[in-house]
Structure 1
Amino acid sequence: MLNALEVFTTVVVGVMVGVEFCVAVFVSAILAGLPGEDGLRGRTHGARLLGAVMPFWYIGSLVLVAVWAVAGRHHDGAGLVVTAAALLILSVVMSILLLVPINNRVKTWTADSLPADWKQQTKRWDRFHYVRVAVIIAAFALLAAALA
Structure 2
Amino acid sequence: METWILPLLQTLALPEVGLTTVFVVALLSATLLPMGSEPAVFGLVQLNPELFWPAVLVATAGNTIGGAISWAMGYGAHAALDRARGSPTHLRALAWLERFGPKACLLSWLPAVGDPLCAVAGWLKFPFWPCVAYMAIGKFGRYVVMTAGLLWLLPGDGLARWLG
TM exceeding 0.5 = no
TM-score, scaled to structure 1: 0.37
